[in-house]
Structure formats: structure tokens, C-alpha cells
């Protein structure tokens, strides 16, 4: 499903017609695929899923508090990739909840997600990163 998000983004009204639950599911799927692609070194798919997560985040952000609640819920997801993405996006509106999630991921001894979380925290603390 997430693979079609980019084409949906280009058709006016496609993402905004989706329910919050559908957006949540698409976000989680794209974030998981992104993490899997990163770990396997498939950078073409990594970039495609990055764009998908970004498109869905734009729509969730447009929906205000309801979209933010979806992001906060996703910080509890089983997938480390989903937790990492959602925590990064939550830095802009709930850093007190996002930072501990990113610190926990950064403490994982191996993997690309731990490096991403560590880098995101470092850049955010330096004022170089904004997801809002």
C-alpha cells in the first residue's frame, strides 16, 4: 500500500480523503519498509519509502491535534523503524515524549535505526533539525 502513496500524493485530494486510521496504517507500513530497505542496503526503496512517510506526515500534520495523536500512538509500535520515524516527527510538538523513545533506540547496539536515532537527537539538540 505505501508504495502507492507517492502517486496518491500527486492526485489532488487523495491523501486528504483517507481516514486517520488508514493514514496511520500507511505511515506504519512505509516506515517499516523504509527501515527494512535501509538495513538491506536497498537505497532506491529506502528513498521511495522516505518520500511515502514524508507525504503521509504532511497530511497528518495538516490534520492538527488528531494527526499528532496518531504520531504519538505510533511511538509505541512494535517496529523500531515506526517508533524512530514517529518519535522524530513528534520532536516538534511533544519532545518530552519523543526524546526518551529516540534515546532508547539510539542505545540499541547495532543497526541503522540506532544510528538514525542518535543522529536525529544530536541534530535536534543542536537546533539543526525540525520536523514540524
Residue 35 lies in a domain: yes
Structural domain span for residue 16: 2-125
Cα(96)–Cα(35) distance, rounded to whole angstroms? 24
What is the tens place of the pLDDT at every residue in 81-114? 999 999 999 999 999 999 999 999 999 998 899 9
Mean pLDDT across 26-30: 97
**CA atoms of 40 and 42, how far apart (whole Å):** 6
114 domain residue, yes or no: yes
Residue 130 falls inside a structural domain: no
Look at residue 6 in the predicted model and tell me its pLDDT. 54
The CATH number linked to 48 is: 1.25.40.70
In this prediction, residue 72 carries a pLDDT of: 98
Q: What is the spatial distance between Cα 85 and Cα 37, in angstroms, rounded to a whole number?
A: 14
Domain count, the chain: 1
| pTM of the full structure | 0.89
- Compare 8 and 49 and report the one with higher pLDDT: 49
User: Which residue in 57, 52, 55, 38 sits closest to 116, CA to CA?
Assistant: 38
Report yes or no on 131 lying in a domain.
no
Q: Is-contact 2 30, C-beta < 8 A?
A: yes
**Residue 30 belongs to some domain of the structure:** yes
pLDDT-derived band at 119 (thresholds 50, 70, 90) equals very high
The helix, strand and coil proportions of the chain, stated in percent and rounded to the nearest 5, come to: 75, 0, 25
Nearest to 2 by CA among 69, 66, 85: 85
| Cα dihedral sign, 97-2-6-35 | positive
Q: Is residue 132 part of a domain?
A: no
Establish if 9 belongs to a structural domain.
yes
Residue 72 falls within a domain, yes or no?
A: yes
pLDDT of 19 strictly over 90: yes
Residue 130 pLDDT level (bands cut at 50, 70, 90): confident
Instruction: Report pLDDT for 9.
Output: 52
Scan for cell 506504519, then name that residue. Answer: 28
Amino acid at each position: 500500500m505505501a508504495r502507492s502513496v507517492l502517486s496518491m500524493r500527486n492526485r489532488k485530494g487523495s491523501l486528504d480523503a483517507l481516514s486517520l486510521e488508514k493514514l496511520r496504517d500507511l505511515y506504519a507500513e512505509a516506515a517499516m519498509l523504509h527501515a527494512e530497505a535501509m538495513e538491506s542496503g536497498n537505497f532506491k526503496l529506502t528513498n521511495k519509502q522516505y518520500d511515502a512517510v514524508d507525504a503521509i506526515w504532511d497530511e497528518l500534520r495538516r490534520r492538527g491535534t488528531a494527526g499528532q495523536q496518531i504520531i504519538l500512538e505510533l511511538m509505541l509500535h512494535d517496529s523500531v523503524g515506526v517508533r524512530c520515524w514517529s518519535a522524530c516527527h513528534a520532536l516538534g510538538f511533544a519532545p518530552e515524549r519523543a526524546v526518551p523513545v529516540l534515546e532508547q533506540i539510539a542505545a540499541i547496539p547495532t543497526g541503522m535505526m540506532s544510528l538514525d536515532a542518535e543522529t536525529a537527537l544530536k541534530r535536534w539538540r543542536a537546533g539543526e533539525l525540525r520536523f514540524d
